[in-house]
Amino acid sequence: MASGATLATVFSACGGSPTSPSGMASKLGVLSGRFTGSGIQVNVSGSALADVGGAVLVESTAGVFLLARTSASAFSAIEAVCTHEGCTITGTDGATYVCPCHGSRYNRSGQVLAGPARASLRQYATTFTDGIVTIAL
C-alpha cells in the first residue's frame, strides 16, 4: 500500500508543470458524421472544412475521426483515437493534430511527429461530392 508521502511525490511529479501537455494547441471544432453502413458522411458547409487547411473532429456512431481539407476537392481522414493510450485527439496547432492527454503530435496523414505515441493513426480514403465528404470504412 502506498504511503501518503509516496502519493504526494507522484502527484507533484505529474501536476507540477506550469503548462498543459498540449501546449498552444487550440481545440478542433466538432461535426456530426452520419454513418451509412459503409462510410461516414460529413456536410462541410459552414464548418472549418469550407476552407482549404481547415480541420475538424468528426463524431459518429462508428467512431471519431480527424478530417482535414487538403485542397479544393481532397480531404484527409484519420482515426482520432491516440495510439498512445487511447485518448480522443481534440487539438490542432497549425497543420498538426495534438493529443490533449500527453501531447503527442501527428501530421494530417496521421504520422507521429512527436511522442509519447509511436504508432501512426489509421488513415481512411475519402470522396467528395456535392459538399459532402464520405469517409470510407
Which positions lie near ligand FES, rule CB under 6 A?
82, 84-85, 87, 99, 101-104, 116-117
Contact status, residue 96 vs residue 90, Cβ threshold 8 Å: no
Q: Closer to ligand FES at the Cβ: 85 or 93?
A: 85
Shortest approach of ligand FES to residue 98 CB, angstroms? Answer: 9
SS3 58: strand
Min separation Cβ 3 and ligand FES, Å: 28
Structural contact between residues 123 and 109, judged by C-beta atoms closer than 8 angstroms: yes
User: Where do we find the cell 481534440?
Assistant: 90
- From the CB of 77, what's the least distance to ligand FES, in Å? 19
Least separation in angstroms between residue 68's CB and ligand FES is 18
Residue from 64, 90, 92, 100 nearest 79 by CA: 64
Alpha carbon separation from 32 to 73, 111, 133 (Å, rounded)? 20, 24, 12
- Please say which residue, 63 or 116, places its beta carbon nearer to ligand FES: 116
Comparison of 49 and 117: residue with beta carbon closer to ligand FES: 117
